[in-house]
Amino acid sequence: MLAATTTNESLAQLSDLLIYSSMAVYTLAFFAHIAEWVFGSRSKVGRTAAALTQQASGAPAAAVTVQVKKGGGTAVLDKPKVVTRSSAGSRDVPDGPGAAGGTVKGDLYGRIAVSLTVLAFAIEAAGVVSRALSVQRAPWGNMYEFSTTFSTVAVGAYLGFLVAKKNVRWIGLPLVTTVLLDLGMAVTWLKTPSDQLVPALDSYWLWIHVSTAIFCGAVFYLGAVATLLYLFRDSYENKLATGGNPGSFARSVLERLPAAASLDKFAYRVNAAVFPLWTFTIIAGAIWAGDAWGRYWGWDAKEVWSFITWVGYAAYLHARATAGWKGRKAAYIALIAFACFLFNYYGVNIFVSSKHSYAGV
């Protein structure tokens, strides 16, 4: 018995060490992503403006050229124009060249950032597994465990898109920044010694309900980042299309992002794909509540805000299918829905007294 206790304590200490180590590596990835954006090309900021000008004049859009700077010389490469089409009447704008901006140095730092993110993900995942082994249960019994698992899954989803050859490296910087904030809050304010579950949580439904909730939240996060960037990029394209002159910072950063239509499409697809799973999460939670408390639905704060989040994303999907509500109006609804998810995650668990609350941990 003493040996088992000692082993569990050692695993808990190892978990803490791995989480702190992952934070250190994520920090390096953060600086590498910063370097990617800084060293990305700032000279070819007129690509989007040229495309919009050609579109406004009715001239055919030319191929996008990307400069690759190397060894003091400049090689100009022809890059096929990437055009996305959404609803009728929307702009046909080429996707930006990415954070690296078509430069060798920027691309190098981007690849380093992704490699460091992969390493940090592996270390953090090992920390989550060590925590699970130390308590011999699913590592989701309190907010500290939930937060470390959530950030791990969010990074895993991002890396999954990269493995699938999707153009999502633009998510890297905001993702790593958010993960560092999440882990910083976890180790500073939410840290709780490993312990056994309260009786209501000691169920196989913990694996089903909480795992799907974590995955849904991670994908909703990626959709929210894409939606927020869509709003910025759409404003940038609107200003260019109406003859405006965006500032140098906007030109340097926003012109390297995918087109507004691409960002909008990505956000819609990930939100629509995970919405049925969020529906299942709520149903699974109701079944678990019936087993644990003898009632399937009691309008507890967590139940109410989970339903509000569901309504928010349902409204977003409905808005996307309704004439006049596509684009920015639908994007605002998506961000409100994600804000409801965040309040359900932090506000209800920490500040609201309910059967689901982790207040005091």
Query: Which comes out higher in pLDDT, residue 154 or 71?
Result: 154
Q: Report the distance separating Cα 261 and Cα 53, nearest Å.
A: 17
SS3 call for 337: helix
Q: Report the distance separating Cα 253 and Cα 57, nearest Å.
A: 26
> What local confidence, expressed as pLDDT, does residue 160 receive?
97
**Pick from 262-266, 306-310, 318-322: least confident:** 318-322
Q: How many residues does the chain have?
A: 361
Give per-residue pLDDT as tens, 98-143: 999 889 999 999 999 999 999 999 999 999 999 999 988 888 888 8
Residue 186 has pLDDT above 50, yes or no: yes
Mean pLDDT in residue range 242-261? 90
Mean pLDDT in residue range 202-217? 91
DSSP letter assigned to residue 108: H
Mean pLDDT in residue range 298-310? 93
Report the percentage of the chain scoring pLDDT > 70.
82
> What local confidence, expressed as pLDDT, does residue 316 receive?
96
Strand 64-70 to 73-79 pairing: antiparallel
Give per-residue pLDDT as tens, 14-27: 999 999 999 999 99
Distances (CA, A) of 293 to 85, 191, 206, 210, 297: 50, 28, 14, 17, 10
SS3 call for 65: strand
Mean pLDDT in residue range 333-359? 85
Mean pLDDT in residue range 146-155? 96
Quote the tokens at residue 60. 């055919």
Q: Report the distance separating Cα 344 and Cα 17, nearest Å.
A: 29
What mean pLDDT value characterizes the chain? 84
Asked whether the whole model's pTM tops 0.75, one would answer yes
Quote the tokens at residue 68. 């690759």
Mean pLDDT in residue range 270-298? 93
User: 311 pLDDT band (50/70/90 cuts)?
Assistant: very high
Residue position matching structure tokens 């953090």: 124
φ/ψ of residue 349, rounded to 5: -65, -35
Residue 194 has pLDDT above 90, yes or no: no
Query: Which comes out higher in pLDDT, residue 141 or 307?
Result: 307
> What local confidence, expressed as pLDDT, does residue 77 receive?
41
> What local confidence, expressed as pLDDT, does residue 130 receive?
95
> What local confidence, expressed as pLDDT, does residue 8 receive?
82
Residue 284 has pLDDT above 50, yes or no: yes
Quote the tokens at residue 184. 């910083």
> What local confidence, expressed as pLDDT, does residue 321 receive?
86
* DSSP-assigned letters across all residues of 14-29: HHHHHHHHHHHHHHHH
> What local confidence, expressed as pLDDT, does residue 293 receive?
85
The secondary structure element, H or E, covering residue 75 is strand 73-79
> What local confidence, expressed as pLDDT, does residue 180 receive?
98
How many CA atoms are closer than 13 Å to the CA of 351, on its beta-carbon side?
6
> What local confidence, expressed as pLDDT, does residue 226 receive?
97
Distance from the first to the final alpha carbon of the chain: 27
> What local confidence, expressed as pLDDT, does residue 2 receive?
56
How many CA atoms are closer than 13 Å to the CA of 256, on its beta-carbon side?
27
> What local confidence, expressed as pLDDT, does residue 358 receive?
56
Beta bridge partners of 66: 77
Residue 91 has pLDDT above 70, yes or no: no
Give per-residue pLDDT as tens, 27-75: 999 999 999 999 986 544 444 444 444 444 444 443 444 444 444 443 4
> What local confidence, expressed as pLDDT, does residue 197 receive?
73
Residue 338 has pLDDT above 60, yes or no: yes
Quote the tokens at residue 231. 């709003």
> What local confidence, expressed as pLDDT, does residue 252 receive?
87
